[in-house]
Amino acid sequence: MSQSEPHFKQHIFFCCNQRDDGRESCAEKGSVELRDYCKQQVKKRGLAGTGRARVNMAGCLDRCELGPVAVVYPEGVWYRYQTREDVDEIIDSHLVKGQPVERLKI
C-alpha cells in the first residue's frame, strides 16, 4: 500500500455515547452491543483489516435523538439501525456491494 492510499477503504463509526444529562443517547438504545456485533461480523466475513473496513466506536455524533446512529466513511452515509438484521444489511449491501441501504438512511 502506498502512502497516498488510505489505510482503510471504509470506516463505520457507531455512536456509543451515554449522556448523563437526561437527553437521549445512542448507548441507551443498544449501540454498544450492536457495534460489537458489527465488528464480529466484519471480521468473520473477512472484511476487516488494512485496505478493507474498520468498525469504530465513536463518542457523541450529535444525532442521538435519531439513534442509535452510525456513519460510513468515506461516503458519509448516516444510518439509523435497531437490530442485528439492520446491521447485517448495512454490511452486506453497503460494505460489500457499495450500495447504501436506503430504508435505514437518515
Q: What is the pLDDT of residue 77?
A: 98
pLDDT of residue 6: 76
Domain covering 10-101, topology: Glutaredoxin (3.40.30)
C-alpha cell read off for 97: 456491494
- Binned average pLDDT, 10 residues per bin, the chain of 106 residues: 74 93 90 97 96 94 92 97 98 97 98
For the whole prediction, is pTM greater than 0.95?
Answer: no
Where are the alpha helices (H) located in the chain, listed in sequence order? 31-44, 84-89
**CA-to-CA separations, 72 to 2, 19, 22, 90, in angstroms, rounded:** 23, 23, 28, 9
